[in-house]
Amino acid sequence: MHDEENREVVPLDKISPHLKLAVLAIEDSNFYHHNGINPYGIMRATVINFQQGETVQGASTLTMQLVKNLFLTPRRELGRKVTEAVLAMRLEKLFKKDEILEMYLNQVYWGHNTYGVETAARSYFNKSSSELNLAESAMMAGIIQAPEEFSPFDYNQVTEESLKTAKERQKVVLERMRQLKWITAEQKAEALETPLNFGKITSFQLSRSPYVTNTVIKELTNRFGTEALSKGGMRIQTTIDLKLQEIAEDSVRWGHQNIAYAADQMALVAVDPRTHFIKAIVGGVDSKKSEFNRVTQAMRQPGSAFKPFFYYAAYASGKYAPDSVISDSPVSFNDGTAGGYTPQNYDGTFGGSMSLRQALANSRNIPAVVIGQRVGVEKVIDICRVLRIKSPIPPVISLPLGSVDLTPLEMVSAYATFANNGWQSETTAIVQVTDSSGRLLLDNTPQPKLVLDPWASAALTESLQAVINGGTGTAANIGRPAAGKTGTTSSERDVWFVGYVPQLAVAVWAGNDNYAPMGRGASGGGFVAPVWRDFMSKALADQPVESFKPPSNFPRPGA
User: Is 27 an active-site residue?
Assistant: yes
- In this prediction, residue 205 carries a pLDDT of 45
Answer whether residue 1 shows pLDDT above 90: no
Q: What is the pLDDT of residue 514?
A: 92
pLDDT digits (tens, 9 = 90+) for 249-281: 999 999 999 999 999 999 999 999 999 999 999
The pLDDT tens digits for 130-143 are 999 999 999 999 99
Distance CA 549, CA 297 (A): 34
Spell out the residues 6+ positions from residue 82 whose beta carbon is closer than 8 angstroms to its own.
none
Mean pLDDT calculated for residue range 287-292: 81
For the domain made up of 242-553, the CATH class stated in words is alpha beta
Q: Which of 27, 136, 249, 410 is catalytic?
A: 27
The string of pLDDT tens digits covering residues 492-518 is 999 999 999 999 999 999 999 999 999
pLDDT at 46 over 80: no
Is-contact 552 454, C-beta < 8 A?
no
3-state secondary structure of 422: coil
Domain extents in the chain: 6-206, 242-553
- Measured between its terminal Cα atoms, the distance across the chain in Å is 49
How far apart are alpha carbons 462 and 357 in whole angstroms?
A: 8
CA–CA distance, 519 with 333 (Å, rounded to integer): 29
Taking all residues of the chain, what is their mean pLDDT, rounded to a whole number?
Answer: 89
Distance CA 80, CA 357 (A): 59
For residues 287-312, give the mean pLDDT: 93
CB 505 within 8 A of CB 276: no
Decide if pLDDT at 58 tops 60.
Answer: no
The one-letter amino acid at 472: T
Cα 47 from Cα 269, distance rounded (Å): 53
Distances (CA, A) of 263 to 248, 296, 520: 18, 19, 12
3-class state of residue 401 by DSSP? helix
What pLDDT, on the 0 to 100 scale, is given for residue 43? 62
| Fold exhibited by the domain 6-206 | Penicillin binding protein transpeptidase fold (1.10.3810)
Q: What is the pLDDT of residues 526-557, one digit of tens each?
A: 999 999 999 999 999 999 999 999 999 999 99
Distance CA 262, CA 516 (A): 9
Chain CA centroid to CA 149, Å: 21
Q: Give the C-alpha distances (Å, rounded to integers) separating 558 from 99, 233, 315, 451, 463.
A: 72, 54, 11, 17, 20
287 in Cβ contact with 211 (< 8 Å): yes
pLDDT at 5: 47
Which backbone phi and psi does 428 adopt, to 5 degrees?
A: -150, 155
The answer to whether the predicted template modeling score (pTM) of the entire model surpasses 0.85 is no
The pLDDT assigned to 291 comes to 78
Query: Are 229 and 221 spatial neighbours (Cβ–Cβ below 8 Å)?
Result: yes
Residues in the chain, total: 559
Q: How many helices (H) and strands (E) does the chain have?
A: 21, 16
Kindly report, residue by residue over 185-226, the tens digit of the pLDDT: 999 999 999 999 999 875 544 456 788 988 998 898 888 887
| Catalytic-role residue among 29, 123, 209, 304 | 304
Residues 6+ apart with CB under 8 A from 157: 201
What's the confidence (pLDDT) of residue 55? 45
Q: 255, exposed or middle or buried, with CB in 10 Å at 0-12, 13-18, 19+?
A: buried
> Mean per-residue pLDDT for 47-76?
64
User: What is the C-alpha to C-alpha distance for residues 343 and 369, in angstroms, rounded to an integer?
Assistant: 7
> Does the structure show a pLDDT above 60 at 82?
yes
- In degrees rounded to 5, what are phi and psi of residue 485? -145, 135
> What does the pLDDT read at residue 436?
64
Q: What share of the chain is helix, strand, coil (3-state, %, to 5)?
A: 45, 15, 40
Asked whether the predicted pLDDT for residue 102 surpasses 60, the reply is yes
Most confident stretch, 143-157, 412-426, 545-559 = 412-426
Strand partners, 434: 235, 440
